[in-house]
Amino acid sequence: MSRQDLNFPRTPKSNYDAAFWEFAVGGRRTFQYWDQTLARLLFEYRMDSDAPRAARAYAIVWTTFHDAGVACWDAKYSYWMIRAFQADPDIKTVFPTPNHPSYPAAHGCFSTASAAVLGYLFPRDTVQLAALAEEANQSRIAAGIHYRSDTVAGRELGLAVAGESNRTRKSDGSD
């Protein structure tokens, strides 16, 4: 862990990103954000009137989201990594730090898994979805509540969960 990760010059943009991913779509609202993204994509791809395909998309995204949460919290309470401000009280965060272990970053787990499985379902939007997930993940460093190692592990865990979900879809004959 490095203080260098947490001592970068904050800008209005980095503070905005941190606040957006915490207050607008953080916590339980993360689910709503990715749900709205899925609904928008179903509409854009004209799949919203195909109830079986839409239901399948929701089932795939939300089982993956759930699995990412289980894996993330299992890792958090296995490693019990302290938050940066606990190691150094001089660290100032953009908003109050969540009351759970730091490693891995939950936004990395949830947002990366959601974006990766949505990218599988809607391949034309893969790059944009991955960029949103990365912004969510990096916002935690900008906020001063995670080390880079937390966000890297969160991203990798999210990708692993989504990869397993996508492999299952490819092999179950439902495509």
- pLDDT digits 0-9 by tens, 93-131: 888 888 899 999 999 999 999 999 999 999 999 999 999
Whether the CB-CB separation of 42 and 54 falls below 8 Å is answered with yes
Give the separation between CA 24 and CA 8, rounded to whole angstroms: 23
Cβ atoms within 10 Å of 48's Cβ, excluding its own: 15
Whether 147 maps to a domain, the answer reads: yes
Report the pLDDT averaged over residues 163-171.
Answer: 89
Of 76, 75, 102, the C-alpha closest to 88 is 102
Whether 152 maps to a domain, the answer reads: yes
For residue 1, what pLDDT is reported? Answer: 43
Question: Residue 89: which domain range?
Answer: 31-171
Q: Counting Cβ atoms within 10 Å, is residue 165 exposed (0-12), middle (13-18) or buried (19+)? A: buried
Model-level pTM? 0.90
Count up the domains in the chain and report the number. Answer: 1
Average pLDDT score, the chain: 90
2 pLDDT higher than 80: no
For residue 27, what pLDDT is reported? Answer: 72
pLDDT > 70: what percent of the chain? 94
Give the separation between CA 30 and CA 103, rounded to whole angstroms: 18
Whether 1 maps to a domain, the answer reads: no
Domain with 64 in it: what CATH number? 1.20.144.10
